[in-house]
């Protein structure tokens, strides 16, 4: 069997591509000696970019790049077109256009490639007036100890997959072709487990799926080209494992406001039980006012955003890559982060060392960024 035919079969070439269903699940498959599960795919084209509200993949890399010539918006458009061509192939288990290792593309494992632009990408006169008003640095928080090496970049690419080899191959496919027009600032690699390295169940509180259009996706009311896009706040949070591990279990639970075994609030039994912040025991709040969930709890309907936590562990450093997606970070994210900065008990063991804000592009009909450049409506 030829390599092309094999790849077509593996990626569900019989009308199943983009449906999230592997070929074997439809009764079609190849007998393979290593007995690996058939690959699953996520759509690349659509109203929204995949990889944002998509159920989290196991492995992720955030790639931060700076444009060598910010004033050349045509160069940026060319980069976005090229990435779109490659991502449209890679996410479906096909090789990129200049792929030197095409065999590594055959198992997409829910690969997604999502692109966002930082403030610097809107430097050219042609794009300056199209920058969303919220696309600016976050306020300075007292707890921040930000390091330039994890700072704001002109472009971010969020690549994620359930297969680490697939992820590594896709990251290479994204970064290698743009070396002459960009400078690679950082790659932040993380993995999703359902718990963070403190052992806590993470990412419990999320907007309801039927609120995504209201809370996550931009409606284009300020910048028409952003309809279908969103904002990303990307924070790198170092975790002091040594001092955390010196704390007893009861102290850990009081700091978070949740039990460690199943993530239930201290006033409940199950992870998704609503916390009762007024409950007391012997006149003392069951959930301390300084606990993480008490400080993070929304004070208004707009203080909701999509939380996407990824762990990183690169000895001697450990921590969390925290991605927050929302329509407007100034209204939705900043008030919550300010309360956490002011009095979150977890601040004793966590330190934000990286911070950046991006406009995540709407989904593509032909290529990412087509509406920004006036090519897609």
- 175 lies in some domain: yes
Arithmetic mean of pLDDT, 326-352: 98
Q: Which residues pair with 306 in a beta bridge?
A: 325
Q: What beta strand segments (E) does 195-288 contain?
A: 230-239, 280-281, 284-285
- 31 lies in some domain: no
Can you state the percent helix, strand and coil of the chain, rounding each to 5?
30, 20, 50
Phi/psi at 159 (5° precision): -110, 130
pLDDT at residue 369, rounded to an integer: 98
- 19 lies in some domain: no
CATH number at residue 115: 3.30.70.1030
Cα–Cα distance for residue pair 161/41, rounded to 1 Å: 10
- 96 lies in some domain: no
- 291 lies in some domain: yes
Predicted confidence (pLDDT) at residue 176 exceeds the cutoff of 70 = yes
Place of tokens 């100890």: 145
- 30 lies in some domain: no
pLDDT tens across 27-80, in order? 333 334 455 554 499 999 999 999 999 999 999 999 999 999 999 999 999 999
pLDDT band of residue 19 (cuts 50, 70, 90) is: very low
Please tell me the total count of domains within the chain: 1
Distances (CA, A) of 358 to 108, 315, 346: 26, 28, 26
Distances (CA, A) of 186 to 66, 130, 159, 305, 369: 10, 26, 13, 25, 22
- 6 lies in some domain: no
pLDDT band of residue 341 (cuts 50, 70, 90) is: very high
- 59 lies in some domain: yes
- Residue 351 lies in domain: 44-85+109-360
pLDDT at residue 21, rounded to an integer: 30
At a CB cut-off of 8 Å and minimum separation 6, what does 167 contact? 59, 60, 61, 111, 159, 160, 161
pLDDT at residue 376, rounded to an integer: 57
pLDDT band of residue 155 (cuts 50, 70, 90) is: very high
Cα–Cα distance for residue pair 32/38, rounded to 1 Å: 10
């Amino acid at each position: 069997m030829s390599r092309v035919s094999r790849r077509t079969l593996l990626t569900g070439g019989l009308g199943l591509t983009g449906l999230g269903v592997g070929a074997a699940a439809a009764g079609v498959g190849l007998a393979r000696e290593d007995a690996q599960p058939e690959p699953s795919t996520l759509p690349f084209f659509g109203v929204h970019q995949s990889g944002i509200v998509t159920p989290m993949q196991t492995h992720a890399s955030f790639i931060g790049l700076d444009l060598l010539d910010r004033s050349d918006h045509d160069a940026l458009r060319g980069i976005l077109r090229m990435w779109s061509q490659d991502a449209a192939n890679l996410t479906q288990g096909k090789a990129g256009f200049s792929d030197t290792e095409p065999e590594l593309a055959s198992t997409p494992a829910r690969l997604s490639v999502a692109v966002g632009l930082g403030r610097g990408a809107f430097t050219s006169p042609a794009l300056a007036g199209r920058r969303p008003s919220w696309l600016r640095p976050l306020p300075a928080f007292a707890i921040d100890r930000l390091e330039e090496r994890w700072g704001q970049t002109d472009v971010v690419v969020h690549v994620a997959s359930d297969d680490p080899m697939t992820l590594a191959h896709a990251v290479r496919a994204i970064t290698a072709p743009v070396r002459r027009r960009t400078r690679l600032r950082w790659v932040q690699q993380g993995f999703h487990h359902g718990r963070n390295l403190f052992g806590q169940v993470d990412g419990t509180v999320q907007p309801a799926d039927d609120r995504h259009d209201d809370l996550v996706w931009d409606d284009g009311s300020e910048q028409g080209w952003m309809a279908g896009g969103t904002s990303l706040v990307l924070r790198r949070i170092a975790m002091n494992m040594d001092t955390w591990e010196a704390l007893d279990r009861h102290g850990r639970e009081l700091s978070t406001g949740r039990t460690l075994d199943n993530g239930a609030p201290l006033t409940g039994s199950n992870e998704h039980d609503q916390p009762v912040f007024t409950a007391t025991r012997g006149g003392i709040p069951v959930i301390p006012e300084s606990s993480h969930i008490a400080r993070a709890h929304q004070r208004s309907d707009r203080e909701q955003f999509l939380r996407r936590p990824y762990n990183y562990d690169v000895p001697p450093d450990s921590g969390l890559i925290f991605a927050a997606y929302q329509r407007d970070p100034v209204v939705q994210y900043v008030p919550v982060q300010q309360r956490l900065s002011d009095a979150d008990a977890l601040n004793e063991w966590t330190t934000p060392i990286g911070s950046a804000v991006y406009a995540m592009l709407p989904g593509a009909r032909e290529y990412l960024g087509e509406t920004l450049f006036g090519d897609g409506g």
